[in-house]
Amino acid sequence: MPNRTAVTEFLLLGFSDVRELQILHFVVFLVIYLAALMGNLLIVMAVALDQHLHTPMYFFLMNLSILDLGSISVTLPKSMVNSLMNTRLISYPGCVTQVFLFVLFTTTDFALLTNMAYDRYVAICQPLHYERVMNRTACIQMAAGAWITGVVYSALHTGNTFRLPFCQSNVINQFFCEIPQLLKLTCSDLYLSEVGFIAFGVFIAAICFVFIIVSYIQIFKAVLRMPSEEGRYKAFSTCLPHLSVVSLFLFTGLFEYLSPPSTAASNPDLLMGVLYAVMPPVLNPIIYSMRNKEIIASLQKLIVWRIFTKN
């Protein structure tokens, strides 16, 4: 039997060992983090405080913003602190927490994006049945189902991963704790059960993506039949950004989870980690809100109301 030492901490991969570049990494990630916080918090405030936005589409959008806030807060702050303090350490409990929360938020995020595709399908293809199908109870059940799915899937993944013995190394080739990188450190054949969980997750994600694509094919067919050019523009401006976010999130995540195992540090791994863990929470507020006249009008009213309240 080889000697096995209980792992009490892990070493995360840094973006650079040069001190000046570490400070630059901290500043860049800080700007990205603050932008994501501000954008998503503004959406949550606008939807929560404006009665006109209490519709299924904005209800799901508010849930998406909450998930994005949680997702980016799990990964970036620890990486920023490590760069600032010139360290790479993360404790074992900290790594467990990071894996659980990240899988929870990302799984729920994708389930919610699937719900949003269905919402757009009913709104555009079956407008006469929209209020009956997407009623308040149905929306709450769909959102709750997405959250429960995330919690269960994350608990299974996290428990199955950290029951494995780690004896290869304690160096994680990513800037946050990630299951594919953790599996490279195990020295037990039991990791195959976690590979099975990942394969099952990929299968479910593929089904959801096919459902989203089919929904959008039907949506685009209905949009092209619209007599109003303004109606077609509004529908496309709502649906195409949603599809682009789903595609970015899914394909970068699949590349990271399905790439061949390697024990060496890899720049593509870091890049894919940034693309699927950092960029969606930053892009979602921009894509969904900056061109949305209702969100902008609601934020303007909130700002004007705050100014007059202070005065």
Would the pLDDT of 309 be above 70? no
At residue 3, the pLDDT reads: 45
At residue 216, the pLDDT reads: 85
More confident residue, 7 or 191: 7
By C-alpha distance, which of 76, 204, 215, 69 is closest to 146? 204
d(CA 261, CA 246): 25
Q: Is residue 84 part of a domain?
A: yes
CATH number of the structural domain spanning residue 193: 1.20.1070.10
For range 46-74, the mean pLDDT: 89
Q: Is residue 2 part of a domain?
A: no
Q: Is residue 4 part of a domain?
A: no
pLDDT in tens, 12-43: 887 878 888 889 989 999 999 999 998 899 88
Q: Does the CA dihedral 168-273-213-109 come out positive or negative?
A: positive
pLDDT in tens, 241-296: 777 777 777 777 777 666 655 545 556 677 778 888 888 888 888 877 665 677 77
At residue 151, the pLDDT reads: 94
Name the percent of the chain lying above pLDDT 90: 23
Most confident of 74-88, 164-178, 284-298: 74-88
d(CA 137, CA 157): 30
Q: Which domain holds residue 204?
A: 19-310
90: phi then psi, degrees, rounded to nearest 5: -140, 130
At residue 67, the pLDDT reads: 93
At residue 284, the pLDDT reads: 82
More confident residue, 100 or 129: 100
Q: Is residue 119 part of a domain?
A: yes
d(CA 19, CA 214): 49
At residue 97, the pLDDT reads: 93
Q: Are 149 and 107 a contacting pair, CB within 8 Å?
A: yes
d(CA 36, CA 68): 8
At residue 265, the pLDDT reads: 53
Q: Is residue 8 part of a domain?
A: no
Q: How confident is the model at residue 311 (pLDDT cuts 50, 70, 90)?
A: low
Lowest mean pLDDT among 109-123, 195-209, 244-258: 244-258
Would the pLDDT of 2 be above 60? no
Would the pLDDT of 209 be above 90? no
At residue 285, the pLDDT reads: 83
DSSP state, residue 10: E
Contacts of 250 (CB under 8 A, 6+ apart): 110, 205, 209
Q: Is residue 33 part of a domain?
A: yes
Burial of 217 (0-12, 13-18, 19+ CB in 10 A): exposed
Q: What pTM, to 2 d.p., does this model score?
A: 0.85
At residue 191, the pLDDT reads: 66
What is the number of structural domains in the chain?
A: 1
